Amino acid sequence: MKPRVRVVVLLGALSLVAAARAQTEPSVALGRVDGAAALEALARECYEARLAPEMPSDAILDCSAVTAERALGAADAPNGDTRIVVKHNVRFTLLERADADRIGAEAWTETEELGTVIEQPVTAEEYLKRVQRVLNAVIARLTVHGAAPWAGRYDSEQAWHLDAHLHAVSYCDANLSRMTLESVTRELETVGLRPLDDDTRDRCEQLYTQLFEWGLARGDAAPSVAAYARYRSTLPPELRLCSGQLAPDATCKQ
């Protein structure tokens, strides 16, 4: 079988120089935040964007997902390679600096066709700004002082998450018949959540697990979408980021 060949497309020296001057790769100073905790939080951001997280080392988090795939006809694939696969990749790296340790990010697409893998950097300003906002939001959340939201009501974070999920399951059991995929999707968007699945039941549980995590931490066993949306609107912008912003096609309705 013909081995795969990896090619990095540089788009020409002049283009790279212009791109380097026009933008810098997203990065953020860690400040007092532990690097491992920051990468763990970023792994969650990847999951919410439907990107699979993987850590090849303690200092690197890679996230990726197939964004396009199509089959080739036999006549177009003489070597037996019958698919074109495009992947979106984001890498977060802990960077040691003399002044302040940072987390840097880089994004690229990977196209595999006829045994050749072509890598191209993502240079879209809109996407790189979203990555920067995600980095800023993660560090801002981890920098906020105060007790964990579950402290005083649960023995552990895991117990809090489990109780919220069980409440969500019960709520969806009782109310799913009056919901539609469209109505649940609108409510997810209202509170800044990107749907993780395509099923109405799954989206209901995603929405209400979030609501019950928020409500139960405050002693409210009957949280509503409207109440959570009002609470979210009071947060500073860096803590009000929509989920799933690392996805290449993400949007955010504030």
State residue 171 phi and psi, 5-degree precision.
Answer: -65, -45
Q: What is the pLDDT of residue 1?
A: 42
pLDDT higher than threshold 70 for residue 71: yes
Residue ranges of domains in the chain, CATH in brackets: 5-143 (3.30.530), 157-239 (no CATH)
Confidence of residue 78 (pLDDT cuts 50, 70, 90): low
- For the ranges 1-10, 65-74, 155-164, the lowest mean pLDDT is seen at 1-10
At 138, is the secondary structure helix, strand, or coil?
helix
The Cα-based distances of 199 to 21, 184, 208 in angstroms read: 44, 10, 14
User: Which residues lie closer than 8 Å to 231 by C-beta, 6 or more apart?
Assistant: 214
- For the ranges 18-22, 134-138, 159-163, 239-243, the lowest mean pLDDT is seen at 18-22
User: Which residues lie closer than 8 Å to 236 by C-beta, 6 or more apart?
Assistant: 140
Query: pTM for the full model?
Result: 0.76
Q: What is the pLDDT of residues 44-69, one digit of tens each?
A: 999 999 999 999 999 999 999 999 98
Confidence of residue 107 (pLDDT cuts 50, 70, 90): very high
